[in-house]
Amino acid sequence: MAAMTKRDFLDLLDQYGADPSRWPAPSRLAADRALAVDAELRALLATEQTLIAALADLPPASASPTLRRLVMNIPLEHPRAVAAPSLAGLLMAGWRRWTAGMATVTAAGLIGFVLGYGQLVPLPTASAGEQVVAEDLASLLADATYFDSADAENAE
């Protein structure tokens, strides 16, 4: 078994008290070996035993009947306050489930409305005169040969 550290010994004192006979057998054997070697651990055990003896000499404290009654009247479990169901509460209970997606549904509906309404409104079209001018311009552009500065130098 490994040697007992000071931390392990202090844990034994905290958990089982200053009486080594109350300690678990394997821990008690390791503590006995550590006490035989370490004077500081013996001093800690003696201090703890002195404290226990001093507390044992004190008269027992008794609680007054009023204090006992107050302590006994503390409920072990606090009941939850639940409001009685009302019509408004029942109607609003279902509404709470819908609020999470309400913004998404509203945005989707608005986008659908705008796109649907856009198909009902006629788009402005070119008049007959504007149409002829546009066609002439397109034909002129199609017939023209375009050169950039590099092509012009290569053509010479």
Which pLDDT belongs to residue 117?
76
Q: Residue 10: inside a domain, yes or no? A: yes
Which pLDDT belongs to residue 71?
87
Q: Residue 26: inside a domain, yes or no? A: yes
- Averaged confidence pLDDT in the chain: 79
Which pLDDT belongs to residue 61?
81
Q: Residue 90: inside a domain, yes or no? A: no
Q: Residue 81: inside a domain, yes or no? A: no
Neighbour-count burial of 147, counting CB atoms closer than 10 A to its CB (0-12 exposed, 13-18 middle, 19+ buried): exposed
Q: Residue 125: inside a domain, yes or no? A: no
Q: 10 Å Cβ neighbour count for 17? A: 14
Which pLDDT belongs to residue 43?
93
The more confidently predicted of residues 116 and 72 is 72
pLDDT at 50 exceeding the cut of 90: yes
Q: Residue 27: inside a domain, yes or no? A: yes
Q: Residue 39: inside a domain, yes or no? A: yes
Phi, psi of 114 (to 5 degrees): -65, -45
Total count of domains within the chain: 1
Question: What is the secondary structure of 113-134 as a DSSP string?
Answer: HHHHHHHHSPPP---HHHHHHH
Cα–Cα dist 137/115, whole Å: 33
The pTM (predicted TM-score) of the whole model is 0.39
Q: Residue 110: inside a domain, yes or no? A: no
Question: In terms of Cα–Cα distance, which of 4, 3, 14, 7 is closest to 48?
Answer: 14
- For 51, the domain range is 6-57
Q: pLDDT tens across 86-140, in order?
A: 777 767 766 666 676 788 888 888 888 888 877 776 666 767 667 677 777 777 6
Cα–Cα dist 4/29, whole Å: 10
Q: Which of 11-20, 39-48, 130-139 has the lowest mean pLDDT?
A: 130-139
CA distances for 103 relative to 9, 107, 108, 117, angstroms: 63, 6, 9, 21
C-alpha 135: how far from chain center: 66
CA distances for 87 relative to 83, 91, 94, 97, 125, angstroms: 12, 6, 12, 17, 58
